[in-house]
Copies of this chain bind each other. A is one copy, B any other.
Amino acid sequence: MLVVKLGGSAGIDPAATLDDLAELSKSERVVFIHGANARMDEFERKLGREPRQVQSASGQVSRFTDAETMDTMLAIYAGMVNKRLVEALQAREVNAVGLSALDGRIARGRRKETLRAIENGKPKILRGDFAGSIEEVDTTLLDLLLDHGYLPVLTPPALSYDGEAINVDGDKLSLRVAMAFKANALVILSNTAGLLADVNDPASLIKEIDVSSDESVGSAMTAAGGRMKKKVQAGCDAVEAGIGKVVFADARVERPISRALAGEGTVLRSSAAIGVTE
């Protein structure tokens, strides 16, 4: 069982990932999860709205999601991007089914309506946020689809306990789905070769993060900066939850999933766990 997340940053052509997915899904159960961040920003701007990125006290960056932003999010994540991926998989003879984590209550959590954030350097309290964190994943629907030969293509948002759409982080969704399935591997693809020590230097790839080493995680977190911090945290959590193989890798190469599984990119592991069998 494999969970693959394709990031939604600019500069990613999904074709190579979809080709690889079409091949891999013949012999393995795969849940495919995607983001749509760049398309979302592009669309918000076309609609005359400036995307509002806010930073929490802990330094994590997220999108402030009022009701109108959620409308666009549903349109772009669960509509345009999700269905274009489904279409492209169907064109590759893969019987894909596109879903948001709302559908069939796949992922649920508590809505956090109030966001304490730092915006333009100033602390602020923002109300009316449709966001939250995932507290449970129900694999029933995904299992049903996998059992019958469908490839689930999943994207945020998730569902609050009050039945509202809530914006959740796509990497965390991938992590929680991988955990719920006790997946063998979690591959997170984006528009970099992995985690870079210096974001402007593609050669500065961090080849490994040792989750059991405070020093290794600390320097990864420093390298990560704003948006990537959540990704590194999700990856560390995945290793600690027992996911055997967790890799951040490049979506912009041929066979990106197979390469990641072979160790290209940033591999997260725990030397503590490996020590047992050595």
Partner-B contacts on A (CB < 8 A): 43, 46-48, 71-72, 74-80, 82-84, 86-88, 90-93, 95-100, 102-105, 140-141, 144, 148, 150, 157, 159, 162-165
Q: Dominant SS at the A interface?
A: helix
Inter-chain contact A80/B74, CB cutoff 8 Å: yes
With contact pairs A104-B150, A150-B141 given, residues A159 and B87 touching in the complex (Cβ less than 8 Å):
yes
Give the complex CA separation of A74 and B82 in angstroms: 9
CA distance A55 to B107 in the complex (A): 44
**How many whole Å from A216's CB to the nearest CB in chain B?**
40
B residues in contact with A141, CB < 8 Å: 97, 148, 150
Most buried by B among A75, A76, A98, A148: A75
8 Å CB contact of A148 from B72, B87, B93, B144: B144
**B-side contacts of A88, CB under 8 Å:** 163
**Of B83, B148, B165, the contact of A102 (CB 8 Å cutoff):** B83
**In the docked arrangement, what's the CA distance between A102 and B74, Å?**
17
Q: Which residue of B lies closest to A148 (CB)?
A: B144
CA distance A87 to B164 in the complex (A): 6
